[in-house]
Structure 1
Amino acid sequence: MSAQDFEMVPPRKFASLFPVFIGLVLPMMVFVPMLLATQGKPEIWTIAPFLLVFPVVSGVLAWSMHRRTLQLEEGKLLVRRFPWPRRIATAEMDLEQAAILNLDEHRELQPVFKIAGTRLPGYHSGLFRLRDRRRATVLLTDWQRVLVLPLRNGRVLLLSPQRPDALLAALRRTNG
């Protein structure tokens, strides 16, 4: 059986521009006032290497936001996202309880506490605690049509594929 790839909803423009803010605007907001305060004295250049951290972090963040995929292969769903990929067997999923929901209407499923990963306006990726206190693996770029996949161990998988109905149907075919 060949692998099936499922496209993710791309992050909104604001989420995509956030790494630019972190990498360019934030260092300038720190460095320029310091440069003006010291009037260009040589001591200011000793902190310049520390300001390089901002562009590096923003580069990793931008790279991770655009390197996210869903792939179904041999009865396992591979969720590639930052900080690490996750492979989940379809047998671990409670597909009878799976649903496509709007998280604005189902507040109990909203990710509220980030355990590990990325949380930006319009982009959530990683391991989170939900409002109902369950742990969830999350890859969300759109809260309007979220594929909610409960796992048999009590955890939840929240995804934003372009076509959540097609992914759910493929998962049910694989498992059945």
Structure 2
Amino acid sequence: MDTTPAWQLQPPSPTSRLWLFLLLVALPVAIAAGAIAYAGDDPGPKQLIGGSPLLTNALILAGILALTLAIHWLIARAMRRHAVTLDSDGLAITTSFYSRRLGWRELQLSQARIVDLGERTELKPVLKTNGASLPGFHSGWFRLRNLHRAFVATVGGTRLVYLPTTAGYDLLLQPRQPQAFVQRLAELAPPGARD
């Protein structure tokens, strides 16, 4: 099993982690606080704590904060699952909530190439079909601009590895060193799988 850092996937950036926090914690808490402030002293349902609106509102906000922090923790932990493993059987990709294992014969290694999405815009992920996406982070299943189905594990760079498969989808990956990754694929693949 080969998990050398040179051809591991790029980890999610601090920017994507910040977006995750803003969207999952800060925004819901701000909306809840705004809704509570807007409601003001409007006599609504029975107060939860001793008839005190202030304590009730604080309890509601604390509950929302606890829930959003728990969800944030779960998703941030899943984002750390961003790795590729090469072994004698083939390639295994793990990214957030998704994983895929492909044997050497399922990979079209002769068509593997390093692409720049600035030049090859037809390979950009544009439609998320079953995946996770934040600014600077794509994980899971997407449709590319050329309408091909792809399993994507990228963190916002433009220099990626594009690898077609015989399984009905393509791979779009962002290893730390794309050239070393493609070379390592060629080295590990059995002779019949390189065609």
Q: TM-score per shorter chain, which class?
A: 0.7 to 0.9
Q: Which residue of 1 aligns with 2:49?
A: none
TM-score by length of 2: 0.79
Q: Which residue of 1 aligns with 2:12?
A: 11
Structure 1: 5+ residue runs without aligned partners?
Answer: none
Which has the higher Rg, Structure 1 or Structure 2? 2
Shift of 1:117: 1.8
Question: Greater shift after overlay, 21-30 or 73-82?
Answer: 21-30
* DSSP 3-state at the match of 1:128: strand
Question: Greater shift after overlay, 6-15 or 164-173?
Answer: 6-15
- The residue correspondences of 1:1-176 to structure 2 (distance < 5 A) are 2-5=1-4, 6-37=7-38, 38-39=40-41, 41=53, 44=57, 45=59, 49=63, 52-175=66-189, 176=191
Q: Which of structure 1's runs of 4+ aligned residues deviate more than 4 A? A: 42-48
Shift of 1:75: 2.7
User: Residue 163 of structure 1 aligns to which amino acid in structure 2?
Assistant: Q
**Contact 1:26 1:54 (8 Å CA) reproduced:** no
Aligned pair count reads: 175
**Contact 2:80 2:96 (8 Å CA) reproduced:** no
User: Residue 21 of structure 1 aligns to which amino acid in structure 2?
Assistant: L
Shift of 1:4: 3.4
Question: Greater shift after overlay, 91-100 or 40-49?
Answer: 40-49
For 1:60 and 1:107, how far apart are their aligned partners in 2?
33
For 1:54 and 1:111, how far apart are their aligned partners in 2?
28
Alignment deviations for residues 96-144 of structure 1 (CA, whole Å, 9 cap, x no partner)? 1110011121111111111112111110000111111111000011432
User: Residue 14 of structure 1 aligns to which amino acid in structure 2?
Assistant: T
For 1:94 and 1:129, how far apart are their aligned partners in 2?
19
Structure 2: 5+ residue runs without aligned partners?
Answer: 42-51
**Contact 2:90 2:103 (8 Å CA) reproduced:** yes
* DSSP 3-state at the match of 1:4: coil
For 1:103 and 1:149, how far apart are their aligned partners in 2?
14
Identity of aligned residues (%): 29
**Contact 2:163 2:172 (8 Å CA) reproduced:** yes
Alignment deviations for residues 27-52 of structure 1 (CA, whole Å, 9 cap, x no partner)? 33122223323347266445864554
